[in-house]
Amino acid sequence: MNQQKAITYSLLAYIRANSELINGPLDIFVPLIKRALSMMHKNGINSGKNISEIYEHSKKIYDMVFPLPVLKKILNIISTEINNTKEGAFILNKDDSFIISNYTFVEYDEVTRKREVQIKELEELFQKFCTASDYNIKKDESIFHFIEEHKITLAKYLSNSEVSEPHDYTTVVQFINYFKNITPVYDLIKSLYLGSILSEYIEYTPSTIAIST
């Protein structure tokens, strides 16, 4: 997991915890795509021939893949919502071309900026912890890598269950345990874990989502 994906995971967890409008599994992703549309508009992209252009921009912003059928469903939700307000306009045509008109969405920009700083500091803390403990850090070994690759074990650990981890990840487990009583850091670790779980909802097909809701 790179830093951008970690920011995305943390943002998903924040949206889930702070939004009162989460009614279905897709709703937590709506603000992400709204923000992507706003950023596209800010950068002078006011229309496109296909939603694949939104797909590419969203992937670049969040380091996360939004399958086109699911993205289209999200865009239909946004189009209906925006066009019923005075926030601007987003038109999704039947041929999947689109128009973005005077649309700005900055609701989570400040949260994102704070998360960028916090996540950078978290990784730096991990590096310092390993150095102080005389551990040799592998090229791809980090707190983010641990969270993404060991979700099941981490869930047991966060619930205070006994954890048995391979030796390669002893450093990371000790790091989490060391910071468990430092609330801001531990809360960030938990938000990254929760966000990694929430991100899996995007893999559902529209038909599966319809059944789930």
Q: What is the tens place of the pLDDT at every residue in 6-29?
A: 999 999 999 999 877 677 778 999
Q: What is the pLDDT of residue 102?
A: 84
What is the per-residue pLDDT across 159-211, written as a single tens digit (0 to 9) for each? 654 544 444 445 667 777 778 878 898 899 889 989 988 998 886 544 544 43
The tokens for 106 are 């900055």
Whether the predicted pLDDT of 78 surpasses 80: yes
Alpha carbon 49 to its chain's center:
27
Element of type H or E holding 73: helix 68-82
For the whole prediction, is pTM greater than 0.95?
A: no
pLDDT score for 213: 34
Measure Cα distances from 160 to 18, 89, 155, 181 in Å.
Answer: 25, 48, 9, 13
- In the block, tokens 């991100």 appear at 199
Q: Write out pLDDT tens, residues 122-151.
A: 888 877 877 777 666 665 567 777 777 777
Please give the structure tokens belonging to residue 94: 């039947």
Q: Bridge-partner residues for 92, per DSSP?
A: 98
The arithmetic mean of pLDDT across residues 28-42, rounded, is 95
